[in-house]
Amino acid sequence: MGLAMSYLRLPPSLEGRRDPDGIAQLVFGRPDWRRRHPADRIADVGGAWQALHYLITGDPWDGRPPEGDVVCGGRLLTEDGTGELGMDVIYLPPERVRPVAELLAEVPFGMLAERFDAAAMAAAGVQDADRMDADACERVLRPAYERLTRLFGAAAADGQAVYKTMAPRAR
C-alpha cells in the first residue's frame, strides 16, 4: 500500500489559534475536513507526490529549499500517522511558501518532464515509478504539478501557510 498526499492552504491564524499544531488538530481532527474548505484551497496529488519530488529535486527524499519544500519540506507536526489524526501533517509557514510559489511559477513542467526516467526513478525507490511511463508523466504528473503551482501561488498571494497531509492510499 502506498501513501497519498494532499495540500491545504490556510491563513496563519484560524479560529483564534496561531500555533500550527493547534490549527492542525482543529482542521485535520475532523474526518470531513476536505468538505469544510473550498476546493481551490486543496490540492490532491495522490500517489504522485514522490515522483514529483524526484522530478523537482533529483532525489526521492532530500532537497534544499525551495525545491525540497514543494513536497517533503516543512515541519512535521505528527509522528507517524498513527496518532489521533490518522495521518502525518507537515507545516510550511508563509515565509517558506512564497519562494516555493516563485519556483513553481518559473519552472514549467516541460523542464521537469525532461528529467523523467522511470527506470532511474524505480531504482531510487520512488513510489509507483515501476508503473509509470511517458504517458503517466503527462496524464498524472503534469496536472498534479499544475495544481500545486496554483495552490502555492494563491497561498503566497494571500500570505497563507500550507499544510500537507500524508496518509495510506485508499484502495
Distance CA 57, CA 85 (A): 29
| Domain span at 105 | 3-166
Tell me if 138 is assigned to some domain: yes
Name, in order, each residue with C-beta under 8 angstroms of 126's C-beta and a sequence gap of 6 or more.
50, 51, 54, 60
What pLDDT does 79 receive? 65
Tell me if 171 is assigned to some domain: no
Tell me if 152 is assigned to some domain: yes
- pTM metric for this prediction: 0.94
Tell me if 103 is assigned to some domain: yes
Tell me if 14 is assigned to some domain: yes
Helices in 7-166 by DSSP H: which ranges? 20-28, 49-57, 94-106, 109-113, 118-123, 134-136, 142-157
The tally of domains found in the chain comes to 1
Tell me if 144 is assigned to some domain: yes
Distance CA 41, CA 34 (A): 9
Q: Which of 96, 61, 55, 81 is nearest to 169 (CA)?
A: 81
List, run by run, the mean pLDDT of 10-residue segments along the chain (171 residues).
Answer: 93 91 92 94 97 97 97 86 76 98 98 96 96 94 98 98 92 58
Residue 13 DSSP class = -
CB count, 10 Å around CB of 73?
20
What pLDDT does 1 receive? 67
What CATH number should be reported for the domain holding residue 157?
3.40.1760.10
Tell me if 82 is assigned to some domain: yes
What pLDDT does 78 receive? 83
Tell me if 132 is assigned to some domain: yes
